[in-house]
Amino acid sequence: MGKDVIVACDFASAEQTFAFLDKFTGRKPFVKIGMELFYAEGPEIVRQIKARGHKIFLDLKLHDIPNTVKKAMAVLRNLDVDITNLHAAGTTAMMQGALEGLTREDGTRPLLIAVTQLTSTDQESMERDILIKEPIDQVVMHYAKTAKNAGLDGIVCSPLEAGKVHETCGNGFLTITPGVRFADGDVGDQKRVMTPAQAKEIGSDYIVVGRPITAAADPVAAYERCVAEFVD
Ligand code: C5P
């Protein structure tokens, strides 16, 4: 899989999701399904979107004891998703358990990506609530290296961090980057943003774009603009 635009389908129901996806009559966008839609509709929503021909990033951010995560991943592998993820904070043992669970009998598996420190966590809350005192950018880079050493395929990070992650972990280690906005668009609640063209320039492998596409007056045109800036 090469560079691609992943559309965050942050909808509350299958009905809303299909109303959105029905607008795309040509290209089939790569779709991100997160907790809201998955918990509302269950695994059937994954099968239905897959059956329509979309690639899927299932964004459930698993974090539990290694045995539980391994067994949960063994369920997800049968959903035939293309990318899924977990928290690197679950440690190497959990990430290795996840890889084992995710690997099918024929040796194939979805790509497995780690979440490092969530972008909603800042230095102050990290020090106060989870007693991590190191600078947050070093923490993120340490989690990236730990994920790579555990055998994972990449991390979710800000497009601003993608270059550093590739320097540290190699260009083959994937960076999936949310926080993307058009130069002339609304930033909304995202704080550190980049345009699709800048994300391409810095070397992001995949951009995750939600509201600039889902809330656009013409979502298909907004998607095509992302593809034109980031992929073509
Ligand atoms: O609408 P917007 O483009 O901001 O959507 C970004 C998507 O990426 C959302 O699904 C959001 O939950 C997700 N995400 C993020 N920042 C992270 C991790 C995930 O915005 N650090």
**Count of CB atoms within 10 A of residue 123's CB?**
15
Does 1 score more than 70 pLDDT?
no
For ligand 1, atom 10: residue with the closest CA: 8
What torsion, rounded to 10 degrees, do the Cα atoms 39, 44, 47, 50 define? -50
The predicted-structure confidence for 173-184, as pLDDT tens digits, reads as follows 999 999 999 999
CA–centroid distance, residue 106 to ligand 1 (Å) = 33
Residue 126 confidence (pLDDT) above 90: yes
Average confidence (pLDDT) over 78-89: 97
Q: What is the pTM of this model?
A: 0.96
Q: For position 187, what pLDDT does the model report?
A: 85
The CATH number of whichever domain residue 121 belongs to comes to: 3.20.20.70
Question: For ligand 1, what atom is nearest to the CA of residue 32?
Answer: 10
**Neighbour tally for 98: CB within 10 Å:** 29
Tell me the mean pLDDT in the region 58-65.
98
Domain of 136? 4-230
| Average pLDDT over the chain, rounded to an integer | 96
Please count the structural domains in the chain.
1
Among residues 93, 88, 64, 229, the alpha carbon closest in space to that of 157 is found at 88
Would you say 173 and 148 are in contact if contact means Cβ atoms under 8 Å apart? yes
